[in-house]
Every structure is written in structure tokens, then in C-alpha cells.
């Protein structure tokens, strides 16, 4: 992993379509942007922020979330998430993440990711089948 500067930012955008509704993904009964989909968008933004610093064979995995979903977004609107690196501790990265729709902020919080070697990570994970 190359050096990642504090303040490094990226964003991700998604249309709030049928596939991203709480009533579709099972996180509620209403046709609004689902909290798990907002979290996924925040994680996408975090991944995008560090992608340029990853070496060949590296990826990152999410390890912690502390998120508030503070406003509903209706079907048909666009949602946007911004992730900013706030701490680097070796291979562990901490982000401040915020999500918006066109009317304003809909959620925010903290997200942590750890940079791993993809092959080794999957080898260790798949070894669980033999236990």
C-alpha cells in the first residue's frame, strides 16, 4: 500500500431504484432508500478513496461501522456518499462518511477498513470449509 494522506476523499452515487428500497431488501416495509444500501454506498466511496494507493493484489475489507441514517430518500431520487480518510494506522484506515440526497444530508458516521492481500485473505477464509 502506498501512503494515503489524511483528507483523501472520494464519492459514490446511486439511483434510488426498486433494488435499493427497504421494502425490497428486507430492511423495512416502506419504499424508501434502505439503510443497508446507504451503508453500501458509503463503503463504495471509502473504497474509491483508497483505490489509487493499493498495490497489485491488495484490496480492503470493512471492519467497523457506526452510522446514523437520519432522513428518508424516496424512490426516484439520487443518493450520494462522500468518504474522507481521517486516520491511518498501518493498514487500518478510518473514514468520516456522509450521505446526501438532493434535499440535504441523510446520514453520516464512521467507517473502518483494513488493507489486505486478496489471495491470502481468501485462502484463510476458504480454509473454514475444512474445519
- Check if 35 is active-site: yes
Select which of 35, 59, 86, 96 is catalytic.
Answer: 35
The torsion angle over the Cα atoms of residues 52, 107, 100 and 114, rounded to 10 degrees, is 10
Q: What 3-state DSSP class applies to 100? A: strand
Instruction: Give me the catalytic one of 8, 11, 43, 94.
Output: 43
Q: How many residues does the chain have?
A: 131
- CA 46, CA 72: separation in Å to the nearest integer? 22
Catalytically annotated residue among 8, 11, 69, 73: 69
111 annotated active-site: no
Active site residue 125: no
Catalytic residues: 35, 43, 69
Amino acid at each position: 500500500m502506498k501512503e494515503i494522506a489524511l483528507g483523501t476523499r472520494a464519492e459514490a452515487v446511486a439511483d434510488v431504484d426498486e433494488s435499493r428500497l427497504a421494502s425490497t431488501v428486507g430492511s423495512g416495509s416502506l419504499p424508501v432508500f434502505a439503510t443497508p444500501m446507504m451503508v453500501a454506498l458509503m463503503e463504495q466511496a471509502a473504497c474509491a478513496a483508497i483505490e489509487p494507493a493499493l498495490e497489485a493484489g491488495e484490496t480492503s475489507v470493512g471492519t467497523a461501522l457506526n452510522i446514523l441514517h437520519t432522513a428518508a430518500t424516496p424512490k426516484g431520487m439520487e443518493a450520494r456518499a462522500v468518504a474522507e480518510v481521517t486516520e491511518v494506522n498501518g493498514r487500518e484506515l478510518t473514514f468520516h462518511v456522509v450521505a446526501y440526497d438532493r434535499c440535504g444530508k441523510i446520514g453520516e458516521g464512521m467507517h473502518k477498513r483494513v488493507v489486505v492481500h486478496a489471495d491470502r485473505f481468501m485462502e484463510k477464509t476458504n480454509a473454514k470449509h475444512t474445519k
